[in-house]
Each structure stands twice: as C-alpha cells, then as structure tokens.
Amino acid sequence: MEFRPCIDIHNGKVKQIVGGSLKDEGDFADENFVSVQDAVFYANLYRRKKQKGGHIILLNAPESTYYEETKRQALLALQAYPGGLQVGGGITADNAAEFLEHGASAVIVTSYVFQDGRINYENLEKLKSLGRKHLVLDLSCRYRSGAGEAGYYIVTDRWQKFTDERVTPELLDELSAYCSEFLVHAVDVEGKAGGIEKPLVQLLGEWGKIPVTYAGGVHSFHDLSSIAELGKGRLNVTIGSALDLFGGPMPYGEVIEFIDRQNKGR
C-alpha cells in the first residue's frame, strides 16, 4: 500500500471539487478547496518527500477557455518533478508524447479509450506505441442499479457520461495487458469526504494483479485502515479534500507514517 499524492487543476487553479458536480458547460464545479499555491508548489513538495506515482488531473475540457492555463500549470508541475508524476485529462494518442516529454512518468487515459459507451480497441492499440509502462488507465466509476446488471460502471468525459463497461475481474484482466496501472475514482463519493466505497475497494483488492490506486471518500484514518484490510494491502490510495494540504483534517505527514506502519505490520 502506497500513498499517491494528487494535483487536480480546474480553471487554471489547484482545487478539490465534488466529483459528480463537474460540468463542461460554464466550466462549473462545486468547490471544496481552492489553493493559493500553484501546481509547481505541490510538485516540489512531493519531490522533496520523494513520493512518486502521484497524479495531475486536468479537469477542463480541451475546448474550454481555461484549458490552456490548466495545461500550462500541469506542464510546469511535470517539469518541476520529472519522472515523479503521472498526468491525465483529455489525453489521446496525439498529445500523450508532449506530456511524457515534459516529464510525466505516465499518462492517464479514460475517455479516449471508452467511447460511445464501449471500449475503443482501435484507440487502445494506438496507445501501445507509448509503451505499457507509460500508460495508466483511469477506470473511474459510479454505481448503477437500473438497466442491466447492478455494479460500478466506468464513466467518461470528466465523469459525466456512463459507459456500458462494468468494473469486473474479467475487465481488469483484459485491460491490464495494455497498461502498467489502474487509477479508480469512486465518483459518487469523490470530494465528499464521507467514507469510501467499500464494495469497490474489496473488488479491486481481491483482483490485485497490477498496481491500482483508489480515490474517493477518504476522510479518516479509519478509512485508511479499511482500505488496507479490504484491499488486502494491495491498493494504493490518494486523498484529496480530507488532506490538510487541501484544507482537510488529515495531516499529510501523519498519513504517510500511518501507511508505513500498516505496511510494516503485514
């Protein structure tokens, strides 16, 4: 189990938002925290702490008037910590190389691979040229119990659109052949700091064949203990709104120490 730090950028600023509130129209999101610091500040902090594998997420669509400033912040952060951070948000086979050249250890892809509700295998094949070690697939998902089988379904386009792809061990097996890691935001609880999606954590932990980072709802050290237990020590974790770096109650240093103790106890 590792702690994976994050830098979420929206409208050119580092923020923590309520995940399900994000809208392209009007570049709107319910905000939990807006930092006075830029993305480089956080990249330098994570570099000094020697924490790798964190992720930068660009939360504006490429069509947004804010996108270029959001992208600029991301590129500067990557340059501040070369090889230490992953980057996602609007990544395609056409622009992935630019982010890798600016220092990203890997690119994180969702919407480009999941289109029209299904896996786009043509686009997935195009990403092969990056090398498996440079590709992380974002399987951010929301629970749905209506049409079809109940479960966690992958959502795309900044978590606004449901696909028909349900997160199952079989899907994880299939997609793991293309990537080095999965990033999974539990969107229904993302940014709400009200508790984790335990069934999702358990599903991911029981699979556990390549690194998986879970995000969503962590708001206490009890949540971290649950992730360690239900995830069988296999899941990495990121914390947003609940972390003191983003105005929350959980001290960054204590989180790192807590996870270190969990690992030593296994």
pLDDT digits (tens, 9 = 90+) for 178-205: 999 999 999 998 877 679 999 999 999 9
State pLDDT tens for residues 221-244. Answer: 999 999 999 999 999 999 999 999
Q: How many residues does the chain have?
A: 266
Cβ contact 137:119 at 8 Å = no
Cβ contact 6:215 at 8 Å = yes
Distance CA 241, CA 53 (A): 19
pLDDT value for 92 = 96
Q: Residue 136's closest CA among 78, 164, 175?
A: 175
**Ranges of the chain with pLDDT below 50:** none
Distance CA 182, CA 201 (A): 13
Q: Residue 138's closest CA among 95, 98, 184?
A: 184
Report in angstroms the alpha-carbon separations of 64 from 17, 24, 27, 114, 258.
Answer: 17, 8, 7, 21, 39
